[in-house]
């Protein structure tokens, strides 16, 4: 049985490790010490964790003020509330002001499952991509989560990191690059490409394995930076394979799929299938049920690949 991991724990462990060596690192949360896995950070650095309570606009504003004072604040909250309630402060205090604020959206996508649409964070990628000067990072596993924390400390400006709650397996090869405009090609294939992020990367790998048994080559690309994304890898996929599938645990309006489609439409048109939530509020149910409901599974990716090949795209 494949081992899976809660990336929130890797986020917290890496943050503590780096804070031991850099006193500028502080954590700011909105009454979310437990859900952000910051209990250990609070115990180790009680004077370096600021809890503003349920006040997300203050959360980002306080983070920006700390950054202006020379600190590196990791502003952590449930993704739907961080991005929904504090969008103006993210735009003005973090991105426009170019402050070194690390925005950490915990439990994104449909991770809150049974709590319903008010707690689902499926619009966050669209909202964050629309803000200038704000890199958007979606780690796929523990290694990329830790790499994202390290990168965000060195990056001099603001950033948004989506920290998954849904447990995922390790998918990142040793020595894989990590940074803006960089992706990881995880499998070879010249029939169809799937570009996946976060919780969908392991499902894309499962789909590739199943299609390989049928003689179909599925190129799997893990795209941890949704903005700025790896333009070269996308255009190579458009030139070298018969179609592109994008897969994200987010609305299809404005996220990864929209970014890829905008590029290939202008530079190298190719058939596409954009897998995600189709501009609706997700129903109430477990996170696993909701992923199945919207076809965000290996089965869904296999079906999309077969559909593209059915349009005469097999090479």
- Write the pLDDT tens digit of every residue in 104-132: 999 999 999 999 999 999 999 999 999 99
Show the tokens assigned to 157: 């400006």
Question: CA 51, 57, 63: angle at the middle one, nearest 5?
Answer: 55
234, 261 Cβ separation under 8 angstroms: no
Q: Residue 36: what pLDDT?
A: 85
Rg (CA), the chain: 19
List b or e across 82-96, with b for residues whose CB sees 16 or more CB atoms inside 10 angstroms.
Answer: bbebbbebbbebbbe
**CA distances to 22, 32, 148, 160, 178 from 143, in Å:** 21, 23, 9, 17, 10
| Whether the predicted pLDDT of 34 surpasses 90 | no
d(CA 17, CA 12): 9
d(CA 292, CA 113): 12
d(CA 256, CA 22): 33
Domains of the chain: 4-169 (3.40.50.970), 184-308 (3.40.50.920)
Of 1 and 177, the one with more pLDDT: 177
In the numeric block, the tokens 């994304």 are attached to 229
**CA distances to 11, 25, 30, 48, 143 from 14, in Å:** 5, 12, 20, 16, 10
**CA distances to 200, 220, 266, 273, 296 from 187, in Å:** 15, 5, 26, 19, 19
Q: Residue 24: what pLDDT?
A: 98
Residues 71-93, mean pLDDT to the nearest whole number:
97
Q: What is the dihedral sign for C-alpha 65, 68, 73, 79?
A: positive
Residues 70-98, mean pLDDT to the nearest whole number:
97
d(CA 62, CA 20): 22
| Whether the predicted pLDDT of 312 surpasses 80 | no
Percent of the chain with pLDDT over 70: 98
- Write the pLDDT tens digit of every residue in 252-301: 999 999 999 999 999 999 999 999 999 999 999 999 999 999 999 999 99
Strands 218-222 and 184-187: antiparallel
Percent of the chain with pLDDT over 90: 95
Show the tokens assigned to 140: 């796929």
Q: How confident is the model at residue 313 (pLDDT cuts 50, 70, 90)?
A: very low
Q: Residue 103: what pLDDT?
A: 98
d(CA 78, CA 96): 23
Residues 143-166, mean pLDDT to the nearest whole number:
97
Show the tokens assigned to 273: 């299938």
| Whether the predicted pLDDT of 144 surpasses 90 | yes
Round the average pLDDT of the chain to a whole number and report it: 96
Q: How confident is the model at residue 134 (pLDDT cuts 50, 70, 90)?
A: very high
Full-model pTM: 0.96
- Write the pLDDT tens digit of every residue in 4-13: 999 999 999 9
Q: Residue 311: what pLDDT?
A: 57
Q: How confident is the model at residue 315 (pLDDT cuts 50, 70, 90)?
A: very low
């Amino acid at each position: 049985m494949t081992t899976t991991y809660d990336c929130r724990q890797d986020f917290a462990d890496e943050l503590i490790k780096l804070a031991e060596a850099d006193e500028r690192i502080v954590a700011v949360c909105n009454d979310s010490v437990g859900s952000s896995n910051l209990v250990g950070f609070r115990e180790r650095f009680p004077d370096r964790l600021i809890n503003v309570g349920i006040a997300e606009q203050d959360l980002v504003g306080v983070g920006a003020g700390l950054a202006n004072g020379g600190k590196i604040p990791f502003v952590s909250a449930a993704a739907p509330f961080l991005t929904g309630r504090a969008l103006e402060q993210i735009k003005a205090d973090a991105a426009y002001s170019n402050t070194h604020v690390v925005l950490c959206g915990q439990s994104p996508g449909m991770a809150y499952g049974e709590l319903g649409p008010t707690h689902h964070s499926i619009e966050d990628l669209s909202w964050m991509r629309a803000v200038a000067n704000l890199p958007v990072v979606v780690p796929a596993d523990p290694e990329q989560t830790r790499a994202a924390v390290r990168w965000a400390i060195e990056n001099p400006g603001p950033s948004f990191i989506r920290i998954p709650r849904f447990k995922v397996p390790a998918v990142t090869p040793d020595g894989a690059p990590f940074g803006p405009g960089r992706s990881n090609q995880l499998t070879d294939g010249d029939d169809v490409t799937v570009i996946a992020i976060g919780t969908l990367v392991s499902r894309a790998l499962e789909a590739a394995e199943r299609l390989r048994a049928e003689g179909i080559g599925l190129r799997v690309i893990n795209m941890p930076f949704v903005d700025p994304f790896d333009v070269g890898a996308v255009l190579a996929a458009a030139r070298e394979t018969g179609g592109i599938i994008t897969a994200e645990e987010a609305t299809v309006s404005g996220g990864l799929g929209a970014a890829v489609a905008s590029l290939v439409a202008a530079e190298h048109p190719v058939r596409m299938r954009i897998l995600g939530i189709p501009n609706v509020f997700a129903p109430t149910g477990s996170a696993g049920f909701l992923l199945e409901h919207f076809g965000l599974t290996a089965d869904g990716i296999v079906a999309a690949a077969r559909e593209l090949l059915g349009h005469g795209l097999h090479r």
